[in-house]
């Protein structure tokens, strides 16, 4: 066999093997869907501002995270992503939730440029999917409410919620995350209303 034939054979083999690999996997993007709250008083007077949440580095990234039962290892999915960083998704979701609940006269975020009377900060501690025979989503957030210019918190609490998933798929996990976050927001809103009494 000549060198030319050998080279041609290698090219044909390379093209054939590339064609067999098929298309690259596509990204799957998920929104965080939080339940709409019931509106009820009392309401904080003035402007309530919700800041972007803080977190560890891995929780600021868009990849959905999973944990195997009994393992401390947190593994990001390669092609299953949130539409934005969870810290930004949660900021917007909490602002929308508190606005819909009528928790303050005005609810906003820092980019609106309002002078706030109340300030909400959040630290995201856990946001992962437990796989295995009983799949679920686990969310843990420290939320803090304080009055402007006051170093003392009116509310400071670590909220944790788990919600079962229909199965171990990332799609089912996205629904479970929405349920767990809704539970946390409902509890925080109740604590916020206690301050407004």
Segment 48-55 mean pLDDT: 97
76-96 pLDDT per residue, tens: 999 999 999 999 999 999 999
For 135, what's the count of Cα atoms within 13 Å in the CB-facing half-sphere? 18
- pLDDT of 15 above 50: no
123-167 pLDDT per residue, tens: 999 999 999 999 999 999 999 999 998 889 999 999 999 999 999
Query: Which residues have CB under 8 Å from 157's CB, separation 6+?
Result: 142, 143, 188, 191
Q: Copy the structure tokens of residue 183.
A: 């539970």
Give the CATH number of domain 27-196. 3.40.50.10610
> Confidence class of residue 8 from pLDDT cuts 50, 70 and 90?
low
- pLDDT of 20 above 70: no
Percent of the chain having pLDDT more than 90?
77
Residue with the bigger pLDDT between 14 and 31: it is 31
Query: Which residues have CB under 8 Å from 92's CB, separation 6+?
Result: 109
| Domain boundaries along the sequence of the chain | 27-196
- pLDDT of 67 above 80: yes
- CA angle 51/40/95 to nearest 5° reads 15
* Residue carrying structure tokens 């034939």: 5
Tell me, what's the pLDDT at 2? 61
User: Which of these ranges, 35-44, 54-63, 72-81, has the smallest mean pLDDT?
Assistant: 35-44
């Amino acid at each position: 066999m000549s060198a030319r034939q050998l080279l041609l054979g290698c090219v044909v083999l390379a093209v054939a093997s590339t064609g067999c690999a098929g298309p690259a996997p596509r990204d799957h993007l998920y929104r965080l869907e939080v339940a709409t709250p019931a509106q009820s008083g009392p309401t904080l007077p003035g402007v309530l501002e919700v800041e972007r949440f803080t977190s560890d580095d891995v929780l600021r990234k868009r990849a959905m995270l999973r944990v195997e039962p009994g393992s401390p290892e947190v593994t990001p999915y390669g092609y299953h992503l949130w539409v934005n960083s969870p810290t930004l998704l949660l900021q917007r979701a909490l602002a929308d939730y508190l606005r819909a609940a009528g928790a303050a006269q005005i609810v906003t975020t820092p980019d609106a440029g309002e002078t706030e009377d109340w300030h909400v900060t959040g630290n995201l501690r856990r946001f992962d999917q437990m796989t295995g025979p009983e799949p679920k989503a686990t969310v843990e957030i420290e939320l803090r409410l304080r009055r402007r210019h006051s170093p003392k918190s009116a509310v400071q609490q670590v909220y944790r919620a788990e919600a079962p998933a229909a199965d171990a798929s990332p799609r089912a996990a996205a629904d479970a995350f929405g349920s767990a976050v809704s539970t946390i927001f409902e509890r925080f809103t109740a604590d916020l209303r206690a301050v407004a009494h």
